[in-house]
Amino acid sequence: MNELNVGVVGTGHLGKLHIKMFRDIENCNLVGVHDSNTEQAKLASDKFSVKVFDSLESLLENVNAISIAATTSAHYELAKECLQAGRHIFIEKPITATIPEAEEIVDLANSLNLKLQIGHIERFNPALVSMEKYIIDPKFIQTDRLAQFNPRGTDVAVVLDLMIHDIDIILSLIKSKVENIEANGVAVVSDNIDIANARIQFENGSVANVTASRISQKKMRKMRIFQRNSYVALDFVTGVSEVYRLLPVDQEVEHSLISFGEIGVGDKKKRLVYEQPEHKHINALKYELQLFVDSVLENKNPVITGSDGLRALRIAKIIIDKIQSSKVDLN
């Protein structure tokens, strides 16, 4: 198979982006789309000149793989039907609305030997991709993911809407089991948690302090990583990363590094250097969808597996439970 026949389920904001990206992937043939909202599907069809299928079943008959960009509450039923039809699937984050649903989908994909990739798009952000050549061994991570209010997404807590991006990245960087979680949060403008903070402690001693808000005046998506002899700052909005490192005083400094002089005393003295890794000019969504297509055509494991999506969802649910159980009635 030199080309993968793909269909998209869900033609809302995100679904339209999937349609656009799949049309530009060379080893992919976008066969068509399906949406229970026929009016929305027709708008997507008119905009991208793509065929609309009246039922998911009819779309499945014509494709090898499906990209699910529908609302989170529909992920489970859609994924189950696609897998049972023998189709590989890409599911936007979070994998499903509940842990049992996610577990069933992961087990089903594994039992049928089908590819299942989860759309945690920030793993492919240029800021993070530019760090590939560096050794990342975090001792402390601070994240701030703030957004202006948008009614889209408020059907779930901000933990599942925004924070889960950082949870997934943190779990991919810290190679240790989670030991303890503390969390706080409140609902402000919606019926769900709109601002949340969590402290995640790992068995190896590493700690992550994670904040997410969808009621901020300005957009911010930053991650700061502290580790032995280095500090890394990632800006997921601009795609820029910065690295500060401590080097032995007698080590020759590369031309690409900016030296800020020496710190420390005696034999503990180190040289502080700064560099900005080369900016990777990539479209994160197109890149992750391309990797999904490649994983099917080349029969290799997806870069973000169903198990990865399940683990991130488990942590997100624990955070939500911690917040809800900490509410105190003072009346």
- Of 187, 68, 190, give the one whose Cα is nearest residue 119: 68
Backbone angles phi, psi at 161, to 5 degrees: -80, -50
- Of 308, 303, 291, give the one whose Cα is nearest residue 65: 291
Tokens of 187: 């609902």
**DSSP-derived pairing of the beta strands 140-146 and 207-213:** parallel
- Upper half-sphere CA count for residue 32 (Cβ side, 13 Å): 17
- Provide the sign of the torsion angle of the four alpha carbons 97, 100, 101, 107, taken in this order: positive
Helix (H) or strand (E) holding 222: strand 220-227
- Measured distance CA(157)–CA(29) in Å, rounded: 35
Checking if the pLDDT of 77 tops 50, the result is yes
Structural domains of the chain ordered from first start: 4-122+284-306 (3.40.50.720), 124-281+317-325 (3.30.360.10)
Mean pLDDT of 303-315: 98
Residues 15 and 35: beta-carbon distance below 8 Å: yes
Question: At 170, which amino acid appears?
Answer: I
Name the band, by pLDDT with cuts 50, 70 and 90, for residue 252: confident
Name the band, by pLDDT with cuts 50, 70 and 90, for residue 327: low
In Å, the largest CA–CA distance within the chain is: 75
Tokens of 36: 């229970």
How many percent of the chain have pLDDT more than 90? 81
Residue 331 has a pLDDT of 38
How many percent of the chain have pLDDT more than 70? 97
- Measured distance CA(153)–CA(213) in Å, rounded: 12
Residues 6+ apart with CB under 8 A from 162: 145, 147, 153, 212, 213, 214
> How many angstroms separate the Cα of 224 from the Cα of each of 48, 140, 166?
39, 8, 11
Residue 66 has a pLDDT of 98
* pTM for the predicted model, two decimal places: 0.92
Residue 247 has a pLDDT of 86
- Provide the sign of the torsion angle of the four alpha carbons 95, 66, 122, 290, taken in this order: positive
Residues 80 and 103: beta-carbon distance below 8 Å: no
Question: At 59, which amino acid appears?
Answer: L
Place of tokens 């995640």: 200
Residues 259 and 272: beta-carbon distance below 8 Å: yes
Please write the tens of the pLDDT for every residue from 159-206.
Answer: 999 999 999 999 999 999 999 999 999 999 888 899 999 999 999 999
CA Rg value for the chain: 22
Q: What is the DSSP track for 38-88?
A: HHHHHHHHHHHT-PBPSSHHHHHTT-SEEEE-S-GGGHHHHHHHHHHTT-E
User: Counting every residue, how long is the chain?
Assistant: 331
- Measured distance CA(312)–CA(170) in Å, rounded: 9
Name the band, by pLDDT with cuts 50, 70 and 90, for residue 328: very low
Name the band, by pLDDT with cuts 50, 70 and 90, for residue 258: confident
Checking if the pLDDT of 329 tops 80, the result is no
CA distance between the termini of the chain: 66
